[in-house]
Structure 1
Amino acid sequence: MALVHDGDPRPAPEQRRPFWTIARRDSLAGFLFAAPQLVGIGVFVLLPLALVFWYSLHEWNVLANTFNYTGTQNYEQLLNDTTLARVLGATALFSAGLVVFNLSLALLLAVLLNQRLAGITVLRTLFFSPVVVSLVAWTIVWGFLLQHNGGINGTLALVGIEGPNWLRSPGTAMLSVIVVQVFKNVGLNMILFLAALQGVPRELYEAARIDGAPAWRQFRRITLPLISPTILLTSIITIVGSLQVFAQIAVLTQGGPGVSTTVLVYYLYQQTFQFHRFGYGATLAVLLFAIVALLTLAQWQLRKRFVFHEQ
């Protein structure tokens, strides 16, 4: 190594920085950890979405082994489908009923189970247990209970009440499906609400009690604003889940009576696998994706107005 004297006008050579700096190593490690998830999203989400849109531009006849390009014909048929309006109405009714009943009951149970009472752990386990039960088994059991001569009407008969045919009457079929779904998944939202309630500082309630605020005002002014992020999360999960319901409809009502319980996913199934209209079924899938994306985006935008931490 050459020494530079005080009288030497030549500058000292600059030290070359190594390529693998700490920052680059950290970035590479981050990309490697995220790569499996990115590959999974590309293979199992983005690629199927692209294929569904591609199939919606074709008519695929599996029996005749034909795959013909039809352009926007399936989308024109979508606009002229008279049954689709009633299907969308049934889907909206099911989603609205599920969100209202599920979130309300989950929040009520969370508030009750947040109390320091004896045996509260057993009650938490009891209310959460339907979440881990097989969906098909749960639905089949409720199907027997809701029959005209099933367990629910048998219990009502003991007190002199003649129950309706819950799953075959237009006025009660949708309500029955909603109730079955609410009881199945209310435990998940209950646990999320319970965790949020336990994160609210107790000092706020003590200060409110000192100021003379009643329990309802404490709940409205303290509890609801502080758990609003969880309310947003559970509402998104519940709405998206309500738009994907299939097994309950297939087991309980098969979309009937008429199309009163035919939600969009079940209608998609009928068109694709019962009527073998794969192109039109793909078009309905595109419509379902658009509805889910728009509702999720709308809820996410509303967070700035209703979520406490975003204001």
Structure 2
Amino acid sequence: MTLANNDPPQRRSFWTIERRDAAAGYIFIAPQLIGICIFVLIPLGLVFWYSLHEWNVLASTFRFVGAENYQTLLNDKSLPQVLLASAIFSVGLVILNMTLALLLAVLLDQKLKGMVIFRTLFFSPVVVSLVAWTIVWSFLLQNNGGINGLLAMIGVEGPNWLRNPTTAMISVIVVQVFKNVGLNMILFLAALQGVPKELYEAARVDGASVFKQFRRITLPMISPTIMLTSIITIVGSLQVFAQIAVLTQGGPGMSTTVLVYYLYQQAFQFHFFGYGSTLSILLFAIVAILTFVQWQLRKRIVFYEN
């Protein structure tokens, strides 16, 4: 005969190991989530809300207009020229920046004396103030500035760089390339130093030329970095503002009026905040679509995805 066990059943503790681990994880990611909500999601929602209104700060009016701003966007005769200028700037910047950055990275990857100094020199513009950098270049590119002074020493009469539609766009692109090429250069340099040297040794034994080694070994091995830098550079090119505002103010005419500067003009110069918000939505959509397309192309571009 056994005695009945009258001890009350033990209650399971609420703070189990799983719940403590989950709580710790939420605490660690909470600052990032709060930051995303405050600085990304809420502003994005407000921009969309403002795009449905006509907000005149000077007259202190704020009225709902529905899709009127989006209809204005479709009928804006200046928008095609703005988008064309944005496309020209982005394509020129991406091609020059990434090509020059990769070339510099390959050269600086050589085991030669003084390369550390050259790496520092090429990277130093990245940490310089953007406005200060642009102001210095605005003096250099004036009609009687430093660039034309150097050209005059060799008997060449330089153009008025910032007052000609063609040279103005080229000047803005070059200034931006020289400013940020060091960042992509460092990323490419780090990727190049991670390529196994045994691959090059095997290729040389098989008689592969330097160009074939670069095409068949270097490019595939650094393709993840190429994908990363291309996304960063394209997104950055669509957000350019300070260079346009300091160098050309969107001129001459509208030849250098890119989308961000046009947005600034509509919202803060002409006080069409509702239409400016609509242009912000357009910019967000363009960046999102381009990023999505690039991400989908990674399986064809990135070596490790194959």
1:14 shift after superposition: 7.3
The answer to whether residue 165 in structure 2 is matched with residue 170 in structure 1 is yes
- Show the counterpart of 1:262: 257
TM-score, normalised with respect to structure 1: 0.95
Q: Distance in 2 between matches of 1:136 and 1:36?
A: 31
The answer to whether residue 74 in structure 2 is matched with residue 72 in structure 1 is no
2:41 to 43, 46, 51: 46
1:8 shift after superposition: 7.4
The CA RMSD over aligned residues, in Å, is 1.6
Q: Distance in 1 between matches of 2:257 and 2:67?
A: 25
1:246 shift after superposition: 0.4
- Show the counterpart of 2:99: 104
The residue identity in structure 1 corresponding to 2:36 is: I
5+ residue gaps, structure 1, are: none
Q: What pairs with 1:215-226 in structure 2 (closer than 5 Å)?
A: 215-226=210-221
Secondary structure of 1:82 counterpart: coil
The answer to whether residue 232 in structure 2 is matched with residue 245 in structure 1 is no
Secondary structure of 2:138 counterpart: helix
1:180 to 170, 175, 183: 175
The answer to whether residue 23 in structure 2 is matched with residue 28 in structure 1 is yes
Secondary structure of 2:107 counterpart: helix
The residue identity in structure 1 corresponding to 2:224 is: P
Q: Distance in 2 between matches of 1:166 and 1:190?
A: 27
1:16 shift after superposition: 5.0
Q: What pairs with 1:186-197 in structure 2 (closer than 5 Å)?
A: 186-197=181-192
Q: What pairs with 1:263-278 in structure 2 (closer than 5 Å)?
A: 263-278=258-273
> What do the CA deviations read for 1:4-39 (whole angstroms, capped 9, x no partner)?
x8x6798x9976543323232222111101001000
Q: Distance in 2 between matches of 1:25 and 1:268?
A: 48
Question: Which portions of structure 1, spanning 4 or more consecutive aligned residues, are displaced by more than 4 angstroms?
Answer: 7-10, 12-17
Q: Distance in 2 between matches of 1:310 and 1:52?
A: 37
- Show the counterpart of 2:203: 208
Q: Distance in 2 between matches of 1:86 and 1:301?
A: 29
> What do the CA deviations read for 1:104-135 (whole angstroms, capped 9, x no partner)?
00000011111111011000000000000010
Q: Distance in 2 between matches of 1:194 and 1:27?
A: 39
- Show the counterpart of 1:138: 133
5+ residue gaps, structure 2, are: none
Q: Distance in 1 between matches of 2:24 and 2:108?
A: 43
1:299 to 277, 294, 297: 294
Q: Distance in 1 between matches of 2:305 and 2:287?
A: 23
TM-score, normalised with respect to structure 2: 0.97
> What do the CA deviations read for 1:127-178 (whole angstroms, capped 9, x no partner)?
0000000100000000000011111111001111111011101111100000
The answer to whether residue 80 in structure 2 is matched with residue 85 in structure 1 is yes
Give the direction of change, closer, same or farther, for the CA distance of 1:17–1:68 in structure 2 (3 Å limit). same
The residue identity in structure 2 corresponding to 1:35 is: A
Q: Distance in 2 between matches of 1:18 and 1:77?
A: 61
Q: Distance in 1 between matches of 2:21 and 2:98?
A: 42
Q: Distance in 1 between matches of 2:20 and 2:193?
A: 40
Secondary structure of 2:161 counterpart: coil
Q: Distance in 2 between matches of 1:95 and 1:23?
A: 49
> What do the CA deviations read for 1:49-71 (whole angstroms, capped 9, x no partner)?
00000000000011111101000
The residue identity in structure 2 corresponding to 1:257 is: P
